[in-house]
Amino acid sequence: MARLFVAVWPPAEILDRVAALPRAQVDGLRWTDRRQWHVTLRFLGRVDDVASAAAALEGMDPVSRPEAVLGRTVGRFGRRVVHVPVSGLEGVADAVASATADVGLPPEDRPFTGHLTLARAKGTEADIGALTGGVITGRWTVDEVCLVESRLSAAGADYAVVGRFPLGS
């Protein structure tokens, strides 16, 4: 059984911009690193058959290659997640959700909120408010979506791309 999600990976020049953001040391906060920076389009959860997830993505309705827009400022989700917003991927996220509706967990019943996670707090006591507001911008054309296996460990998540699915023109 594999823990899977569908994601978009930014190109190196966008990752370089994210890497240049300051990373203050805050008790209870774990920063993610370059290998983990992606935009999750849909979390599938534990799936018995990776091939079924890949087949669903191969059968996805054609989607034009969208332009992803990074930023404008570093934000947060509540008191636990520091992130950079990414817009422009709503259409491809909808297509992925439709194609994989019968694979893994049911699609979430809320609007898609594209983002790159920068850090997560272990508890609710970390003060992450001061980490927000930094300006970061960028754009890139998304050529593919990836089926990714996530392996969790004490050191954090390790991701392996198990399938790549090109988008249209």
Token couple for 70: 């990074």
What is the model's pTM? 0.94
Spell out, as residue ranges, where the chain has pLDDT lower than 70: 124-125, 169
pLDDT of residue 124: 64
Q: Give the count of beta carbons closer than 10 Å to the beta carbon of residue 37.
A: 18
DSSP codes of every residue in 97-153: HHHTTTSSSPPPSS----EEEEEEESSS----GGG---EEEEEEE--EEEEEEEEEE
By the 8 A CB rule, do 38 and 10 touch?
A: yes
Strand 29-31 relative to strand 75-77, pairing: unpaired
CA atoms within a 13 Å half-sphere pointing along the CA-CB vector of 75: 14
Name all domains of the chain by residue range, CATH numbers in brackets.
2-166 (3.90.1140.10)
